[in-house]
Amino acid sequence: MKYGYVRVSSKEQNIDRQMTAMKEHGVAKETIFIDKATGKNFNRKGYKRMIRKIKPGDEVFIKSIDRLGRNYTEIIEQWKVITKKKKADIIVIDFPLLDTRKKVNGLTGTFIADLVLQVMSYVAQIERENTHKRQMEGIREAKKKGVHFGRKSIEQPDNFEEVAGLWKEGEISLREGAMLLGVSHSTFSRWLKHM
């Protein structure tokens, strides 16, 4: 049986491109599972339903690896669930090396796909680390130039002491005091702590 998995990050995004790819590969509309949810984890209704349906020998089509998910550690884990536990094949349409059905020079497609995924996972991890490193370097350089990060602190209004006194006497609530000062109740609360 051929199954398709289609995912977009939000309800506003269009799935037409992925649906066309599924149709071109002979995946029937009724065997396509769709999620309109983030790819940060696999807690998705459509994906879970698909996993329950898969049987040994089935094929799972995905347009591109990022449609499966964004976290390579979890992608590798789910890849194992599909290929090892469920004994089904995965075909990533936009990346022919990620097709577990094929054999190349005596090597199984599963072996090649697993290897490619491991390399992709490593590259993604290195890129995350490099991005973080570049951000930290940029922040250090900006701080050297006197750039301040975060929100500017809000100046206490002239009537703060008076309003704080009313609050201490129990004449007004925290929210009422914040309204009188024109700030959020959390800001008013923070100012009260530093009196």
Look up residue 184 and give its DSSP letter: -
For residues 100 and 113, the answer to whether their CB atoms sit within 8 Å is: yes
102 closest CA partner among 86, 114, 91? 91
Which residues pair with residue 156 across a beta bridge?
Answer: none
- Specify whether 186 is catalytic: no
- 9, 64, 121, 189: the catalytic one is 9
3-state secondary structure of 93: coil
For residues 73 and 43, the answer to whether their CB atoms sit within 8 Å is: no
Active site residues: 9
